[in-house]
Structures are given as C-alpha cells and as structure tokens.
C-alpha cells in the first residue's frame, strides 16, 4: 500500500532578515535573469543591486518591477561598480565565456546559468581564467535546487538509497515557443548543451566521474521546420568510472506530455531503495524501508516560493536557492556545488555525448580539468 503526504503550507513568501554581510548582485541578461532579480525577496545573504541588458524593453520591464536598482546597457559599467560583488549571467549560451572572463577580471564572483559554456575552447578559457584570478563560480543548475530534487538528494546523502546502481533522467519539452522568442536557440547551439544539460548534470551528480558515453540523436519534425543547427532528440547511455550505469533522454520537438509524466524526472535505483523526483509537479516518490510507497506532494507548500504564485511559473525558487547557497559559501569560506571545475567536467560529458552522436560510436570522456 502507498499513500500521499500533502506537505502543508499556503503562505506567501516570507522574506528572511538580511545578513549584514549580504553580497550585492548584478545580473546581465534580463529575460531569464529578471526571474533571479525578482526572487531576491527569498534570500538573506545576497541582494539585488544592478541589472544590464542591451534591449531597452527588457530594462524597462525590470525597472517597472524593481525601480530602486542601477540599470545599464553597458556590461563594463555594471562590472565597474564596487557594490556589485556577484555577477549573474543569463545571456545567450555562446556569450557566457566572454561574460564570465570579464567578470573574473573585474574581481567579481560569478553565477552562470546552465549551460556553463557550449564549446571546448570556451571551457578551457573559463577554466584558465578561474585558476588565474582565483574567483569563484556557481553553475545555475536549477533542477538540483527544486524541492523534490533537494529532498531526494538529502535522502541519498543520509544513505537511505544505498549505492545508486542505475539512474534514469530526462528533460522533455516542446520548444517552438523558444525558437520564436530566442532565435539563437535554433541557430547557435545544440540541444545537448541546452535542454540535455539538466539530465546530464543529474547523471554526473549521482554517478561521479563518467568514463564513457554512447549517444544517438535525430531531428524531430518540429526541429526540421525551424531549421535547427543540430538534432533535438537524444538518448544517452553512460558508464561511470566505478562501473555504474545511467541513461539520459531529451526530446524538444514532441507533442505535449500526458499528465502522468513530468518534463524533468530523475529515477534513482539504489541498492537499498528507489526514488523519483519530478518537475513541474512538485512530487517526490520513494519506497520507505517497510516497503510503503510514499508520495510527498509539495505543490501547496511550495507553489508561492517556487512558482511565484503563477501556474507553474518559471524557476523563482530554484534561482533563489542557488544564489543563496553560493553567497553563503562565499561568506562562510566553504565549497559550493556545482563549482567551476565541476561545471567544466559536466561540460566534458556533454561534449562527449555530442561527439558520440555525430560519430555513431562509444566515446571516452576527456576531462580537461585534469590536463
Ligand atoms: N532552467 C534554467 O536555468 C534556464 C531556463 C531558461 C534559460 N536558461 C538560460 O538562460 C540564458 C538566457 O536564456 P533566455 O531564455 O533568457 O534568452 P533570451 O534570448 O530571452 O534573453 C537573453 C537576453 O540577453 C540580452 N543580451 C544579449 N547580449 C547581451 C550583452 N552583450 N549585454 C547585455 N545583455 C545582452 C538580450 O538582449 C536578451 O534580453 C541561456 O543561457 C539559457 O540557456 C536557463
């Protein structure tokens, strides 16, 4: 027998008291980056100071909601401000490396949305700049910071799952709206770095260093219509250096999903238990030690915090959670995850997946953080 635990709570967001050492945040790229600025009423250790975008309409929309901040279209002007200690980057993927290196050189610590970078040359560049300047970086892997995935990870760290022997992760989402909103998505990158970065990051998080991958990809009817640069359907099999197995799947041209499935799911098959975390539905499902199946439903408790009271609004809670975690780790002098080296290692897995799909063979992962 199983049961559903509705986690109670309908409160709107309660803003925590600000830590007197709270760090000032400047955000570049005010479409997705606007979400982070608005989510700053959830954090204690980091607060909004500045926003930057080339597009005056994006600046105007942010200014209307957060009038007290400094706004500019000139990234260097934002970097020159001493009250900006952390820079968060939400520009198109191919610009991340330039924006990270400039921020490091200006003495700032950096939050960079996923994917950290989308080419090997850029991965080497950000790694070198981080090592040269000693600045810190957090990759904004939002899925890790969504409530069911946090619950699942905490149970894993308490040892309740035992060893994860097999992992199954996917992110599936119809993306015509994204091609229309942001044409660079179709023309300048590959879905292995965009959507597939979510399940591949989850795979690396649990299985540790990945030895090799075998990937297949095709282009959907929708991707062909938008003339995307690469394929938009991927299946990946991976083996870790310790011999454990994982699978990641992505499809960005499909029809809508039936409600039984969620667009992001992580299924862990451990030696002691199994568990499933889901996004958008805020469900965490697991087998308890006595064999009972438990479904934790966090929607009522978490919808204001995570969705900003909208119907499945995007990422407010996750962005606040990783920004707060990063600021705390800077203030306390403790490690953060995923940091620059971890982000580059995950990029190396993504790049191996891309090569494997193109070359039609199993590919060894080349970890450039070791060379
Ligand atoms: N789950 C997640 O964490 C998540 C979700 C969606 C998007 N993203 C990532 O966020 C990033 C942005 O995605 P988006 O959907 O907001 O893209 P977008 O195209 O809607 O917005 C990018 C913004 O950057 C601005 N910009 C471009 N170059 C600039 C420059 N040199 N200086 C200042 N502003 C500049 C543009 O004017 C635009 O407003 C991408 O890397 C994407 O992969 C992450």
Enter the tokens of residue 323: 């920004």
Instruction: Report pLDDT digits (tens) over 314-370.
Output: 899 999 999 999 999 999 999 999 999 999 999 999 999 999 999 999 999 999 999
344: helix, strand or coil: helix
What is the structure's pLDDT at 260? Answer: 79
CATH fold match for the domains 11-142 and 144-310+340-370: no
Point out which residues pair with 87 in neighbouring strands.
26, 110
| Among the four given CATH numbers 3.50.4.10, 3.40.50.720, 3.40.50.300, 3.40.640.10, the one describing domain 11-142 | 3.40.50.720
* Closest-lying ligand 1 atom to the alpha carbon of residue 194: 43
What is the structure's pLDDT at 52? Answer: 98
Supply the residue whose CA is at minimum distance from atom 23 of ligand 1. Answer: 29
User: Would the pLDDT of 6 be above 90?
Assistant: no
In angstroms, what is the span from residue 271 Cα to ligand 1's centroid?
Answer: 40
67-71, 203-207, 289-293: which has the minimum mean pLDDT?
Answer: 289-293
What is the structure's pLDDT at 10? Answer: 64
Which carries the bigger pLDDT value, residue 360 or residue 9?
360
User: Would the pLDDT of 1 be above 90?
Assistant: no
In angstroms, what is the span from residue 280 Cα to ligand 1's centroid?
Answer: 21
The residue whose two tokens read 């924006």 is 99
Instruction: Report pLDDT digits (tens) over 34-52.
Output: 999 999 999 999 999 999 9
* Closest-lying ligand 1 atom to the alpha carbon of residue 98: 31
DSSP letter at 81? -
Instruction: Report pLDDT digits (tens) over 73-119.
Output: 999 999 999 999 999 999 999 999 999 999 999 999 999 999 999 99
State which fold the 144-310+340-370 domain adopts.
Dihydrodipicolinate Reductase; domain 2 (3.30.360)
Do residues 86 and 327 make contact, with C-beta atoms less than 8 angstroms apart? yes
Distance CA 352, CA 46 (A): 36
Domain ranges of the chain: 11-142, 144-310+340-370
Instruction: Report pLDDT digits (tens) over 122-150.
Output: 999 999 999 999 999 999 999 999 999 99
* Closest-lying ligand 1 atom to the alpha carbon of residue 181: 20
pLDDT band at 9 (very low <50, low <70, confident <90, very high): confident
């Amino acid at each position: 027998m199983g049961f559903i635990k509705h986690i109670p709570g309908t409160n709107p967001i309660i803003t925590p008291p600000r830590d007197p050492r709270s760090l000032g945040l400047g955000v570049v790229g005010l479409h997705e980056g606007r979400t982070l600025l608005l989510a700053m009423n959830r954090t204690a250790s980091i607060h909004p100071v500045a926003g930057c975008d080339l597009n005056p309409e994006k600046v105007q929309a942010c200014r209307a909601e957060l009038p007290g901040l400094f706004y500019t279209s000139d990234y260097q002007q934002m970097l020159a401000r001493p009250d900006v200690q952390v820079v968060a980057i939400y520009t198109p993927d191919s610009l991340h490396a330039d924006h990270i290196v400039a921020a490091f050189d200006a003495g700032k610590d950096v939050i960079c949305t996923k994917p950290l970078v989308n080419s090997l040359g850029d991965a080497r560049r950000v790694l070198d700049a981080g090592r040269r300047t000693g600045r810190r970086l957090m990759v904004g892997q939002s899925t890790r910071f969504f409530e069911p995935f946090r619950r699942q990870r905490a149970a894993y760290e308490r040892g309740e799952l035992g060893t994860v022997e097999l992992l199954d992760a996917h992110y599936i989402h119809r993306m015509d709206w994204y091609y229309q909103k942001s044409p660079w998505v179709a023309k300048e990158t590959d879905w292995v770095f965009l959507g597939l970065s979510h399940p591949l990051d989850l795979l690396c998080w649990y299985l540790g260093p990945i030895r090799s991958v075998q990937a297949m990809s095709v282009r959907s009817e929708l991707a062909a219509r938008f003339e995307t640069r690469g394929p938009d359907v991927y299946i990946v099999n991976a083996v870790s250096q310790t011999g454990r197995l994982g699978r990641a799947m992505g499809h960005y041209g499909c029809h809508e999903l039936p409600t039984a499935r969620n667009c992001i799911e992580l299924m862990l098959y451990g030696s002691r238990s199994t568990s499933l975390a889901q996004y958008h539905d805020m469900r965490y499902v697991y087998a308890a030690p006595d064999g009972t199946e438990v479904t934790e439903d966090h929607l009522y408790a978490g919808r204001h915090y995570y969705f900003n009271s909208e119907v499945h609004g995007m990422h407010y809670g996750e962005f606040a959670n990783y920004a707060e975690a990063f600021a705390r780790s800077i203030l306390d002098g403790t490690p953060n995850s995923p940091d620059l080296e971890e982000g580059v290692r995950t990029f190396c897995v993504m790049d191996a997946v891309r090569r494997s799909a193109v070359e039609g063979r199993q590919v060894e992962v080349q970890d450039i953080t070791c060379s």
